[in-house]
Structure 1
Amino acid sequence: MLHELIGRRLGVALALALCAAPALAQIPRQDPKACKGQPEIKPLEALQVRTDKGLHAFMVEVADSDREREYGLMCRRSLAADRGMLFLFAKAGPQMFWMRNTLIPLDIIYIGENGRVVSISRNVQPLDERGAPSAGPAKFVLELAAGRAAQIGLLPGDRVLHRALPRG
């Protein structure tokens, strides 16, 4: 049983590494002082998160193209407490986000195709390229300012509400 578990984890780790490798190779490291990312993706869209502490509203940029997902929040110097970025993927699968050229700490929330939080990587540090993997298949990823997930009491199983996510 332990052997199977280790084998499965190694398989998932390898799959995640292979998924992340092309993105790492395509975007060069930049000097943080001269970092240039993508402009804010407009229009901002309403998103809500339902936790045991209540309903929490955010305005998010929606990254739904390959380029927007690759650049994400790179080179941004700040992120307001009520802002974020929602990444949309065509299908659910293991996800791993890294912080190349990302200058602000983030909470990275992995969301399943049912609209429920799968896992949360909290307080991921700027420029950390080790990667923060999801704990299961995710079709959506929400990035918030570091510490916001804890402030609103966000936990796996909580629901995220947005036009692109399923209702119910």
Structure 2
Amino acid sequence: MGSRLGALTLAWGLALGATPGFAAVLCDDGAVWLRGDFGKVRFGVDVADDAAERARGLMFVEDMPSSRGMLFVYPSAQPVAFWMKNTLIGLDMIFADETGVVQKVHANAIPGDLTAIEGGGDIRYVLEINGGLAAQMGIQPGAQLRHPAIEGAAWPCE
């Protein structure tokens, strides 16, 4: 089972843009990296870093490639909650603190559901990806995000 998981992680890493051996991990505004026990993976992202962009999020998006997501950036750590109003695709929400360390993963948010999905009290970054990917990849609390917008990151851009 362990080698199967390793092969799956490598396959996902390559499919999502990781370099063989994961030697070079570049930072740019259009991508977020995650690392953890599963290895390293990359998602191309749109960044929502103002109130209007965060309010719209992924509403009305009909389809999103598995290698894409949206990174929500707040001006400071705070309690955050999301809902799925006008959201047409299932999503995983990855909530991270001031340093980009994942605090909570909410799996498979239901399209159109108006129930509040709370991320926690000290959240500054939220990554939304297609529903089910976080579990398939092994993304869980303790993983680290890397992106130029993450100031004072546990895994900083070089």
Q: TM-score range by the shorter chain?
A: 0.7 to 0.9
Cα distance in 2 between the residues matched to 1:129 and 1:94: 18
Whether 1:113 and 2:80 are equivalent positions in the alignment is no
Percent same amino acid among aligned pairs? 40
**1:66: Cα distance to partner?**
1.0
Contact 1:116–1:159 (Cα < 8 Å) also in 2: yes
- Over 3 Å off, 4+ runs: none
Look up the match of 1:130. 115
Q: Describe the SS at the equivalent of 1:149.
A: helix
Q: Describe the SS at the equivalent of 1:95.
A: strand
Look up the match of 2:22. none
RMSD, matched Cα: 1.4
Cα distance in 1 between the residues matched to 2:80 and 2:146: 20
Q: Residue deviations 1:46-90, cap 9 Å, x none?
A: 110102111001100000111110000000001111100000101
Aligned counterpart for 1:63 among listed residues 36, 48, 68: 48
Look up the match of 1:167. 153
**1:138: Cα distance to partner?**
0.2
Cα distance in 2 between the residues matched to 1:54 and 1:81: 17
Higher fraction of strand: 2
Look up the match of 2:59. 74
**1:135: Cα distance to partner?**
3.2
**1:94: Cα distance to partner?**
1.0
Contact 1:119–1:136 (Cα < 8 Å) also in 2: no
Contact 2:29–2:148 (Cα < 8 Å) also in 1: no
Mind listing any 5+ residue stretches in structure 1 that lack a counterpart?
1-42
**1:114: Cα distance to partner?**
1.2
- When normalised by structure 2's length, the TM-score is 0.76
Aligned length: 126
Look up the match of 1:151. 136
Bigger-Rg structure (1/2): 1
**1:136: Cα distance to partner?**
3.5
Higher fraction of helix: 1
